[in-house]
Amino acid sequence: MSTRYPFTAVVGMDDLRLALLLNAVSPAVGGVLVRGEKGTAKSTAVRALADLMPEVPVVAGCRFSCDPLSPDPQCPDGRHDAGPAESRPARMVELPVGASEDRLVGALDIERALAEGVKAFEPGLLAAAHRGILYVDEVNLLHDHLVDVLLDAAAMGASYVEREGVSVRHAARFLLVGTMNPEEGELRPQLLDRFGLTVEVAASRDPEQRVAVVRRRLAYDDDPAGFAARWADEERQLRERIALARELLPQVRLGDAALRQIAATCAAFEVDGMRADIVMARTATALAAWDGRTEVLPEDVRQAALLALPHRRRRNPFDAPGLDEDKLDQVLEESGGQDPDGDDDPDPEPEGPDGGPDGGPGGGPGGLPPQDGGPREQPADAPAPELPRQPEPERPARAEDPEREPAASGPGREQAAVGATEPFRTRRLDVPGLGEGADGRRSRARTAHGRTTGARRPRGALGKLHLAATVQAAAPHQWARGRRGPGLVVRRDDLREAVREGREGNLVLFVVDASGSMAARKRMGAVKGAVLSLLLDAYQRRDKIGMITFRGSGAELALPPTSSVEAGAARLAQLPTGGRTPLSEGLLRAHEVLRVERMRDPSRRPLLVVVTDGRATGGPDPLGRAHRAAGLLAGGGVASVVVDCEAGPVRLGLAGELARELGGTAVTLDELRADSVSALVRTVQGRPVRGGSSAGRGRDHDHVNREKAA
């Protein structure tokens, strides 16, 4: 195995190092999610932690790493009696983003189970990570069903495999660490809650600290073994300190005063459920043990809140994680009081070996070893520069006064960005036909999960077995195979796997008209509110999104296709309006973007959402050029929806004409709402009612769900 970068050689990132070490002291904390921009050594720090973990005693020959002192009575390798034991280093198992469910939980050999009647179970990554570290890089890109399996195992401490009536259960207790770049999309709030702690990391803006990072990395790349040897003493000391903290952990006392502060903090920040309270209690206890104390102090509770609460306050995908530290200090001060058990004054935090107030060996924040220096580089007592906080992404503003008209509008005039109205729940828009894209919640598709619709011969490794089809294929050959009595002889050619139908995520490409005509009659706030609502719907349905805006003399790719709806909301909030309406330029830019994306990800089907009143100005025959561009998209089979933003007593119906040219449908802003009365009128007996609106004049396809909202 290649030499890992030493943990103690990581420069800065105090919160990240502290969160990882607290989980090493107390795995019950529940793991850590590391959020940050690319190139911030997230993966380096996580991989370095494995070398600090104490060795693990295991039952000799057990594939599931059973503890010889308390072996798992339900271990698939059988009951373990007293016998030889061995020690091995704690494992760090990496879960690839493209892993299958069988690779994660393990696989049953269906052929042997049917032909020989034996349970042949091959352990997966969860079994390999038992009593070690399970590391998921880019956890936000992991398929949802894998995340569900992973977090369920982490919460229950066991993995369950149920296939074709065969059940296997094995212990799976591990330190779960996930890293992610928020620019590539967020995790769902309910999944964020399953990680014990979260840490935001960013590259330091301090030149001296950046110089130290580069020097150490270059030295490591030149001679990994020699570089690791220089930090061997620091690594050994930190490893010993983790072991001592683990031994001290059962003796740490969590008093009633600290518990009241924890409960008051979670209540004040309106955190859902009780998991936050439990995680804070475990984190504060681990902090005390890490600092060599047997009592939890108020500063432990405060630090635990900063690590355990920010990601649990996220109510929707446009909320930025974070915590108001002034409010936190106020809540802790108001909820602090005398411990009913009799300690009027908690013992002050003991001083560190150098007399500093930080406590704990090492003198750094949270008792961490100082990181600016290091062996033969700088004095060990050099102060650690504070890492800058990442600015919270700006949330789209809401229009305070919908009646207020923006400044002058019209061709050639640019207006400042206006706020969006309140987002609403939209109807489901989906792509016709049956796709084979990534699992999601929008359009019908053949997926690994969903209802069984048929059977087929396996293509490569056997997936979900279709038992009835397998028996039906094997039955006619029993006499030729020598079977004269009960039972069934099954061969590989007889195996059939289930064909399942579920839903996929799509690429939703927004083409937004930002011209002067859209700013008239106070429309832009409503238009932004509608696009924001569609962005929220795309987030919930696991789509990728992109955004093109057109105004003035051209079109701009405001947001390349991404999984981050937060980025889309931020671009929308900053969108200015004004100028002419180059509708054809917007559609042609959409055609080019979809062409490139089709080459990158051919299985992900696109849904084009054009938000416009249908007008086109500028140049000769602007409307004709726009319709020809629409025909180009229709010829490529792109599913389209036009959101008709026309308002006022006199309507030209241009959006409906554009929808016909695109081969799609048009819906008004009112009909886009899931609870719209007009939308219900148009779904009588499952057929659209042709009315006088521009939506009624558009051709209706299956890709607009006309029966009910999801």
Question: Can you count the helices (H) and strands (E) in the chain?
Answer: 23, 21
Contact assessment for residue 481 and residue 416, using Cβ atoms and an 8 Å cutoff: no
Task: Assess whether 17 carries a catalytic annotation.
Answer: no
Q: How far apart are CA 354 and CA 341, in angstroms?
A: 33
Burial class (CB in 10 A: 0-12, 13-18, 19+), 409: buried
Residue corresponding to tokens 């939703």 = 508
Strand partners, 108: 121
DSSP 676-690: -HHHHHTTGGGSPPP
Contact assessment for residue 200 and residue 33, using Cβ atoms and an 8 Å cutoff: no
Task: Quote the Cα angle for 708-700-569, to 5°.
Answer: 65
- Residue type for position 613: D
DSSP 363-419: -SGGGPPP-SS-TTTS-TTPPPPPPPPPPPPPPPPB-S-TTPPPS--STT-EE----
Instruction: Please report how the helices 14-25 and 298-308 are oriented relative to each other, as an axis angle in degrees rounded to 10.
Output: 100
Nearest to 199 by CA among 369, 387, 361: 387
Query: Encoding tokens for residue 602?
Result: 């051919």
Residue of 4, 91, 275, 660 with catalytic role: 275
Which contacts of 357-360 are long-range, i.e. CB under 8 A and separated by 24 or more positions? 359/291, 359/292, 359/293, 360/290, 360/291, 360/292
User: Residue 485 to residues 132, 293, 488: CA-CA distances in angstroms?
Assistant: 49, 72, 9
Instruction: Please report how the helices 256-268 and 298-308 are oriented relative to each other, as an axis angle in degrees rounded to 10.
Output: 30
Alpha helices in 2-41 (DSSP H): 14-25
Name residues whose C-beta falls within 8 Å of residue 400's C-beta, 6 or more positions apart in sequence. 419
Q: How far apart are CA 510 and CA 611, in angstroms?
A: 7
- The catalytic residues are 275
